[in-house]
Chain A
Amino acid sequence: MSVETRQHELFNVDLGEGVPRKALVAGMVVMVAWWALLGLVMGTPTAETATLWILPPALVTVFGWRESERNPRRRNITEWVLAVRWIVTGHQPVIGLGRQTGTAHRRSVLVRVGDRFGNGDALALLMPWRAEESMQAGRQEQPTGRAERLGGRVQLVGTDTAASMRARQKKGKGKRR
């Protein structure tokens, strides 16, 4: 139950059918962010670079505000943001319902990107030096991480020996004190 609000005029300029207000605001935010970034990298805009300054934020706003094909209740931009979110934090496991937090990413960012937008193998084609890692990611069954060597020497200790060892330990403590 929400009504999409549209702006029908802006600064006394008639906008015809109207522009969704949220798109307008978001467009501005994207624009400002992009300009700030470009400004840091390239300094002030020139006539040659004007396209670079204007086009990307405009495209993001226009295509981002299109209805998503997969889920008509959402905008494309929502899906984009969620995809990025999955790659950054959304892929983290939930262990024991949060009693434990995942300590490290099991897969590197690039593999995660590969996972998100295709399968690991596609990434292997693009980045052969990552092939091994992406193969592992593709094979979900394989637990990742370093193998640990388990096992060691087992010593069987009788009760008497254990008691004497314990007594020795106690004595040792006493001496230290």
Chain B
Amino acid sequence: MSLVDRLGSLVGVSGPRGEAPPKYRAIAPGLIVTDTEVWGWYEVRTSNSDLKGERGRDQEQDRSEHALRALVGRECQIKVLWGEVSGENYLRDLRVDDLPEAEPRTPKDEDEGRPFSGPEAAREWAAIRADSIDDFNLPDRRVLLGVKLADRPQRTGEQAGRALGLSTERVSDAEMVRYSALAHQVGGPLRASLWRVRLASSEVLAWSITREMHRGAVIPREDTIQGAGLARLASGRFEPQSDHYTMRASDGSVAAYGAVLALTDFPEVMATPGQEWLALLGDIETSPLDAADGDGAPMFARAEASVRFVIPAARAARKQVSEARKTASEQSRSAARGSVGEPEETITVAEAELRGIEFALSRRHTLLVNDHPRVIVTAASRGELEAKVTAVIGAYDEIGVTAAVMVDEQREGWLESLPGDRVRVPDLGHWRDSTALVQSWFWGGSRVGSIDPRLPAVGYTTGSTAGLVRYLGTESVRQSDAPVTVFLGRTRRGKTTAMQLAMLDAHLAPVNLASDPWSILVDTKGDADGLVNAARHYGITADLVRVGPEYAGALCGFATSDPEHAVDNVVSQLTLCLPRHLAEQATSLLQRATASVRSANTRPATWQVVESLSKLAETAPSESLTREVGETLAAITSSGFGRLIGGKPTGAAGLPLRPGITVLQLPDLRLPEAGTPEDRWTPAQRVSVAALRGVLGWCTMLAGSRELRARAKLVAFPEVHLLTATVDGRMYLTQAARMGAAFGLSMLLDTQDVSGIASLTGLAEGISAVFGFAQQTEQEQDALAKMLGLPVDEDTRAVIDSLDKQPAQDLDASDAATVRRGHCLYRDQSGQVATMQWTVPSPELRDLLDTSAAATAARIEDARRQHEDGHDDEAEVA
């Protein structure tokens, strides 16, 4: 220690403040090599912890504390950075470039409105998604964990080389290989831990350095970055002011303002949830009052963090504690000798506490951490910077942590935050229990959806961290997993649009192109023709089929279920058609008739049952049950939907079995309102529900046909709550789902009745994904919570209740009243749950899909006008 250092430490200015900045020599996957040190860098995976209950969170915290043990004895740094979810990366992940080249479209094709070819359509679809991702401007949180692997001794050979002017500053390949092995070795236990770390790519590491320079240097796409490429990344001009710093662009103008804050004081005891001191960085917003310039609108502070820490090995830690304790004891002895008699309270308390820690350390109950947390705020202007700094200080104040701008030490603070640097301002650090570090929850966030990057992104998570949500309806079947996706929630919350988007995705996802999918949307309201337009717009073959008399007999129970359950299904379908007072008594009669038809015919059908019953009725005495049932059934099946169930097939029409989207419209279907008890259904409604059942079976059986064997198949079915309203309806649904699964059919079911679906154990097993939209009654909320695997409590209910409310920051007078659509809870295949927002990639598509009455009217009006215009043109030509 030199005299200057001694004097410095006397006035509290110790530490290597003035040391030269790190000199980067090489960047490789997971490695940053500086002149003097080698650091291994890992990317920490965000865990999905937003909606975990108290127990789940405690478990995660324990596991993290355990993971810290792998870092004992090493210098480490956690960096929390904000990037941007970019459309470009999305396209790269989808591997759109690998799609086969399509034949170029000629102007003639365009004139004739011929659709794009498959790959071209997929590319177009991916491109509009990518654009919308760019528009959303989602922050992408990245958590990097750096671990110092080794010191790099200055070799004499190198020094000699430098003296002779032969040095190239190149890190030799042998050295890199050794470091790389070390990085893998140190990362091993961390990879298996809760954090699921993986080596940070060179690209990410280069980005983490060059972003601090604010010069927008191009990041080389190489595995190992050295020499000139590296120098370019690190070029920038940093100018420290006393309470902030400025970064200058290459033309000398200010590129950014920034400030480094230190977290100087923490409360003695921290509680989670509530005091996660790193997880909160994503939520900090400036207050409109602070905004000195601009329009005063609140914005996210997007503060970043750098925490350098060391967990000393048990012996070193004990030594440290024991020395401090000895000093305290000496103090109390010295005070005892003096006139005060007894030492200050703080000394006595400290002595006792240190004794406790020493004991815990010797028993290995706890780990001691020495950490130096810093928060870095950057902004485009001084006013913005001040507003953001105020917001950060305020947010930390709320959880009892003191954040203070490092006055006169901006240079030190900024350098400290760079990877490969060191602690320069040691006196603001903390010595504490490792729990305090774990309570920062730096890995926590919200994440849901498939991790397969080739799947389309249907939306983004809206929890504490944002990320793309990848979902593909046909994916779980491809992986031989449960085939059903359910959309739960009240009407007009965006369920139908979500379902339609999922169908378009099934056809346009690059992974699905080869299997040329076939899908059907059953449309009971007659408003889904938007899907046909949208599908055609993107080059998918699409048919609109209105189910009329030509489909007589198509919904027959024999034709729409497997032979094993056929009799039961025919009976219950017919029973459903009958009026309530007949239904209960007629069961055995129907059973007998159906059984005999089945045994007598090779190709049994419901119309035969009806015919045999009406024959019986002719001979039966009047007023008898047989007569009444026979005549009623004959009447019901002679027209309308009854004819589709029990009419004689005309053999005229079938559903298209070519690949593409089919919208199956059932106009005039009179479905009862959700929640109407079964005994209140009118005769027309009963027949409609029976027909609806038939439709589900029909689609399922179609999916099993030979023509579709090799294709991906998808059925989207609405109003399932009408099936789950009755006991045998529920059984039927379960059966259909099982049958579909056997054929490799993926199902999207839409229902308003959560408890109904939840009570179906058989079906619940077949569900791979759940999208839960807002619910109002407590009973439904609890059922949804159960479906999603969330703890059934007040917190979950509040989350579900608020799903359709506009987020607070976007709220202004005009928005306050509007319903938030497409915002839901999603439980994915692996059981993760998070809130997410479905996104319609372009306004054009939104118009095409919009199912509201006004939009439909507008569309019709448009079509009419176009038609008229066409006529006008013709007239002019004439």
> When the two chains form their complex, are residues A70 and B265 in contact, meaning their CB atoms are under 8 A apart?
no
For residue A160, CB closer than 8 A to chain B, the reply is no
- A105 CA to B529 CA in the complex, in Å? 72
Alpha-carbon distance between A26 and B17 when the two chains are bound, in angstroms: 21
Confirm or deny: A73 has a beta carbon within 8 angstroms of a beta carbon on chain B.
yes
B1-33 interface (Cβ within 8 A of A): 7-8, 10-13, 17-18, 20-24
Find chain B residues with CB under 8 A from A98 CB: 20-21, 23
B328 touches A3 (CB 8 A): yes
A18 touches B340 (CB 8 A): yes
A141 to B255, CA, bound (A): 10
Does any Cβ of A come within 8 Å of B545's Cβ?
no
* A86, B408: Cβ atoms closer than 8 Å: yes
Residues of A within 8 A of B22 (CB): 97
Whether B242 lies near A29 (C-beta < 8 A) is: no
User: Is the pair B21, A97 in contact by a Cβ cutoff of 8 Å?
Assistant: yes
Contact partner of B12 (CB less than 8 A), chosen from A7, A75, A86, A99, is A75
Question: Once the chains are docked, how many angstroms separate the CA of A140 from the CA of B330?
Answer: 53
Beyond A1-B321, A73-B427, A94-B411, whether A8 also contacts B13 by CB under 8 A is no
Complex alpha-carbon distance, A7 and B347, angstroms: 13
Q: Is the Cβ of B350 less than 8 Å from the Cβ of A3?
A: yes
Is residue B241 contacting chain A, with contact meaning CB distance below 8 A? yes
**B39 CB to nearest chain A CB (Å):** 15
**Interface size in chain A (residues, C-beta < 8 A):** 48
Q: Is B337 an interface residue (CB 8 A)?
A: yes
Closest-CB distance, A44 to chain B (whole angstroms): 26
Chain B residues with Cβ under 8 A from A141's Cβ? 253-254
In the complex, the answer to whether A93 meets B404 with C-beta atoms within 8 Å is no
Secondary structure at the A interface, as helix, strand, loop or mixed, is mixed
Contact yes or no, B236 A96, CB < 8 A = yes
Q: A8 near B338 (CB under 8 angstroms)?
A: yes
Select one of A70, A82, A91 contacting B241, CB under 8 A.
A91
Residue A36 interfacial (CB < 8 Å): no
Determine the chain B residues whose CB is within 8 A of the CB of A72 once the complex forms.
264-265
Report how far A6 CA is from B332 CA in the complex, Å: 10
Q: Is the CB of A16 within 8 A of B328?
A: no
Which residues, 3 to 54 on A, are CB-close (under 8 Å) to B?
Answer: 3, 5-9, 14-18, 22, 25-26, 29
The residues of B that contact A62 with a CB separation of less than 8 Å are none
Quick one: which of B328-354 are within 8 Å of A by CB?
328, 330-331, 334-335, 337-340, 344, 347, 350, 354
> B641 to chain A: closest CB distance in Å?
75
Quick check: A3 and B331 within 8 Å, CB to CB? yes
Asked if A171 is at the interface (CB within 8 A of a chain B CB), the reply is no
Report if A81 contacts B (CB, 8 A). yes
Does A166 lie at the interface of the complex (its beta carbon under 8 Å from any beta carbon of B)? no
A85/B335 contact (C-beta < 8 A), A3-B328, A73-B428 known? no
By a CB distance below 8 angstroms, the chain B residues around A1 are 320-321, 324, 354, 431
| CA A90 to CA B406, docked complex, whole Å | 13
- A22-B186 Cα distance, complex, nearest whole Å: 41
- Cα distance, A39 to B237, chains bound together (Å): 45
Instruction: Mark contacts of B355-370 with chain A using CB atoms, 8 A cut-off: 1 yes-contact digit, 0 otherwise.
Output: 0000000000000000
Report whether A115 and B10 are in contact in the complex, using a CB–CB cutoff of 8 Å: no
* B264/A99 in contact, CB under 8 A: no
Q: List 6 A-B contacts (CB under 8 A).
A: A64-B11, A77-B11, A90-B408, A94-B415, A95-B236, A98-B20
New A-B contacts (8) at CB < 8 Å, excluding given A91-B239, A97-B234, A116-B242: A14-B339, A82-B408, A86-B408, A94-B237, A94-B238, A94-B240, A96-B234, A143-B252
Which residues of B line the A interface, CB within 8 A?
7-8, 10-13, 17-18, 20-24, 231, 234-242, 246, 252-254, 264-265, 320-321, 324, 327-328, 330-331, 334-335, 337-340, 344, 347, 350, 354, 404, 407-409, 411, 414-415, 418, 427-428, 431
